[in-house]
Structure 1
Amino acid sequence: MPALKYLVALAALVLLSVASVLVGVSDLSLSAVLAGESATARLVLVEVRIPRTLALVFAGAGMAVCGTIMQMLARNRFVEPSTAGTVESAGLGILTVLLLAPGLPVYMKMLVATAFALAGTSLFLLILTRIPLRSPLMVPLVGIMLGGIINAVTTFFAYRYDMLQSLGAWTTGDFSAVLRGRYELLWLSLALTALAYAAADRFTVIGMGEAFATNLGVDYGRVVALGLVIVSMVTASVVVTVGMVPFLGLIVPNLVAMAMGDRLRRSLPWIAISGAGLVLVCDMVGRLVIAPFEVPVGTVLGMLGSAFFLYLVLRRRSRAA
């Protein structure tokens, strides 16, 4: 039965991917492409639509899994890369590259953004160990404040050196510029998502606390370091390729956990599939709502994520009452 459910979910994801390939400003008939009747349609399919759809799937799955890992590391359901300073740190890394070495290849930009994201996330976790957390809501509040400070520093230097427009182009969360040759970095995100699944049981254990993990013989520090590296590299690869994709790691892991619990070996594939599906749906909504113009995926997810964050807060308060 579980295998059948996975097959159904994958089939639904494939159908969403096909719909994403066909939705756009210019009409694209799959039958015409397969019959070889239109060279232009085939060019659009190979150069634009398929790369964009793959980028949506990889980014959605990767960021959803990153949110899950962040929640295990911080032991808090309100945490994800955009509420922990991770995304903002990656943006600061990109600005640093644009200012100091704009000619670096894309993969080097990703490595610099990864280093900044790793530093920002580590700082967030360090701050959590230094302050009393009387309420779970303090954790995302600390992350949002840290992200706001980092974003303010980034904006200051971008304004000072007339780089606001360039920085905005890098961090909008827009898939419209994805072409063949400009999304391949996201294959790394897929590989790291698979690595996260391989270590799923360890992440589940450290989510129960350092003392519990140590008693079970798990190297807590090493697993935390692995989680930080996965989160930082996936976030950096997504930000460098398409920009910021906010709140995805908040929405999907919480919905899946409500239905399936916290055992990552069981729930992580569903989180990855659901994250990819949600990004595909948001992208199609953004392409259709004011066609022929587009609303960036980051904007659509930002609205959904804000509403869902408020729902989680109110739900927790009602349960506490």
Structure 2
Amino acid sequence: MQKTKYFIAVLTIVAIFLILLFPIYVSAQREEIKIPVLVYHYFYKDKEEAVKCNHSTVTSVENFEIQMDYLYRKNFKTLTMDELYRFLKGEYTPPKNSVVITMDDGYKNNVTLAYPNLKRYGFKACIFVIGKTVIDKSNRPDEFEYLNLEDMVKYSDVFEFGSHTYDMHKIINGKPALLQYSMLDILFDFINGQMVVQSPYFAYPFGGYNEVIIEILKSFNYKLAFTTKKGYVTSNSSPYELPRFTISDKISFQQFVRIVEGKYFEDYSEKKQKNNYKSRPSVGVNVNRRKSIPILRRS
């Protein structure tokens, strides 16, 4: 009889213990992995250069070094595109401190200035290049220098390369060209782009996309596509609508830390997001190309 009472008492204690722990367990189970994808553009050494290029998304080498040093000291892992893709498919669980580093447009200073810092810390990154600038030197404005095919091979130990279209990094009538050109023009651009950059990864110029563009990407076997929306990539994210955080000198170090630590929206969720051009399908409208305005200074 005494043994029975003892057994019942033990079961009661265990039951209470489990009841108390269950909410904590459930909370831990529901905590989803949040991966910040960072996007950089143009790097510079001195302020005069930054002022000269009139670039809204410039980053000094000094600030970049401080940011990379922080990631290294905090044991962050820089995920590759394939690792991010496998995470979204449920085939890979990244470490808690994971981040993805991307760069848009393919400026030469990505390798001359950013590469040494990434190489020092053993980090990986992906550069989304504009196909035409990679092969057509005559198409480059004097104040900018872009990567070429030789660079893409030489620096492949740190960088992988994705597409930023072949020649649709433009604004037309206030909207991204990708939303303005005809279906035939877009298909032709994608074909040319894949001939230059054979990659299944894509970044929308100026964040412009719609459902039609997504279907075109799928038909060309692209696996991931990145927007300019702010947010974290989670297991529930759409592979063709991945958010990113634009990093520039406008972002303080404290803000950078909050972003990579997964705490951005605790402080900045009420800020209005701009340049997120997801529109209704309008592909098929023929546009007079003489009215297009090439802009090579933003995403």
TM over 0.5: no
Higher helix proportion (structure 1 or 2) = 1
Which one has more relative contact order, counting CA pairs under 8 Å at least 6 apart? 1
Shorter chain as denominator, the TM-score bin is under 0.3
Q: State the TM-score, normalizing by the size of structure 2.
A: 0.26
Larger Rg: 2
Higher strand proportion (structure 1 or 2) = 2
